[in-house]
Amino acid sequence: MEISLTGKRVFITGATGAIGGAILKALKESGAWVAGSYFQSEEEAARLMGQGVFMVQADLSDRARARGCVASVLEQGPLDALIYAAGNTRDRTIFRLTDSDWDDVRGLHLDGLVACTQAVLPAMRERKSGKLIAVGSLSGSIGRAGQANYSAVKAATVAFVKSVAREAGRFGITANVILPGFVDSRMTRAAPPAAWERAKADSALGTISSAETVASFAAWLLSDLAQGVTGQIFQLDSRVV
């Protein structure tokens, strides 16, 4: 089934990352107008701008800058959807976790998500239509050793999105979370080899997850085929829990 997103306008944070980039590519190929944010990946951002993608540089862990980033995108026109795919890790055991480790992860994953969501919702409420997709993690459901900070904010992501779904549903706005699994990315490449082996061992298929699978599902979730779907957590993974 071919999905058409012609006429849809979507803002994707973390658009130069593996997951955000794959989603941006899929949505653009489906006919959507796409905008993206990035922090340090200037070369990739320039490549995307060369393809006509509106890109904004911002540190989304700073809530004021996150709101300013969304404002810049909204100056280009109204948005039909926000996809929050920005992320980082600062993995340490709880015995060695520093305030900076905690603040850096909470800031980008949670503060940025909240600020961007609050910035897009008023116009969506006025139009009685809009979609929010947040990229979560299985770590937020089960907790992982060495990832107390990451697991905590990903658990909070689920609770936040479910609350948004309840509060905004009467305005025609949907909110869902995608759990993409262990995907080959800059973030996971920083993980030790043992983490990769564990991900493969935990997979019923013995494989690593695909960013393209996540992108295809995101496109479906943004399409008219997914009307009425909200407050859900979608685990796109082969790890059976």
Scored b (16 or more CB within 10 A) or e, 156-194 reads bbbebbbebbeebeeeebbbbbbbbbbbebebbeebeee
Catalytic-role residue among 33, 38, 150, 217: 150
Q: Which domain, by its residues, includes 137?
A: 9-234
Number of domains observed in the structure of the chain: 1
CATH of residue 120's domain is 3.40.50.720
Per residue in 49-73, pLDDT (tens digit) is: 999 999 999 999 999 999 999 999 9
Per residue in 74-99, pLDDT (tens digit) is: 999 999 999 999 999 899 999 999 99
Would you say residue 168 lies in a domain?
yes
Amino acid identity, position 217: F
The answer to whether 38 is a known catalytic residue is: no
Would you say residue 1 lies in a domain?
no
| Spatial distance between the Cα atoms of 122 and 7, rounded to a whole number of angstroms | 20
Q: pLDDT band at 30, cuts 50/70/90?
A: very high
Per residue in 125-160, pLDDT (tens digit) is: 999 999 999 999 988 888 788 899 999 999 999 999
| Spatial distance between the Cα atoms of 151 and 155, rounded to a whole number of angstroms | 6
pLDDT computed for residue 240 by the predictor = 65
Would you say residue 4 lies in a domain?
no
Would you say residue 241 lies in a domain?
no
Q: pLDDT band at 115, cuts 50/70/90?
A: very high
